[in-house]
Amino acid sequence: MAYIKSQEEIEEIKKGGKILGEILDKLAVMAKPGVNTWKIDQTAERLIREAGGRPAFKGYKGRESDPSFPSTICASLNEDLVHGIASKEKVLKEGDIFSIDIGMEFPAGNSKKQEIRNKQRGFFTDTAITVAVGEISEKTKKLLKVTKAALEIGIAQCKVGGTVANIGQAIEEFVKSQGNYGIVRDLVGHGVGHAVHEDPRVPNFYDKAQEKYILEPGVVIAIEPMISMGDYHIVTADDGWSISMADKSLCAHFEHTIIVTEDGPVIATKRPSEK
């Protein structure tokens, strides 16, 4: 199947994922009151390029008619869920929660003309974290804890012979057991590796249609629970990118790139700070 990666490709994905996890750890500690998101974004791009990679999101277009995404990271604050644009005006303050979503092509590969001629390019990994800026309420801490645990539960389902539907079902059942949270339905995880977004879709809820995607050795997917303290509906801002909760409730987002192997799931983007 097209979404199965070879062992050689997986080794490259592991290399890139390790670097990206290290970079995200460095960005997370920058999230302090008074820091603007542009500074974090500039650091992200510098670290990716110094490592021999290329920012996967900067210049990205969902469709040819869409505006190009202008940032290296997706910088989303509080009720903003994903695809927030980093800027000097977006300044972190005490009590905020800040989601950093970052993707990288590694190695960066050749120029466009060489890439077409030689068919040489890098491999993509994708990861995200939501962090507290200073002190946050106990209720908000629980939101972050539940969303992170939902990711871990989704990862645990990545066993050979299982299905993508099992991942969403496990996440949904866990989140519902934790309280009255909204599980975003219009945005889902995805395959990753040859491109930023590939098949299959990886919902954070049970979707019977995804039972057709069997988890085999070499499957590489990005699992990314997106959970709110209110309703699950979302809206897109006038900039064409920033997506926030329609009811303005706080929301969290955690993501890892996962490789399915015979020995169980491998977290390609695991951060050094994670046990």
pLDDT in tens, 180-233: 999 999 999 999 999 999 999 999 999 999 999 999 999 999 999 999 999 999
Q: What is the DSSP letter of 161?
A: T
**Domain 7-267 fold:** Creatine Amidinohydrolase (3.90.230)
Confidence (pTM): 0.95
Neighbours of 186 (CB within 10 A): 11
3-state SS record for 84-132 = CECCCCCECCCCCEEEEEEEEEECCCCCHHHHHHHCCCCEEEEEEEEEE
Domains of the chain, by residue range, sit at 7-267
pLDDT in tens, 109-164: 654 433 433 345 899 999 999 999 999 999 999 999 999 999 999 999 999 999 99
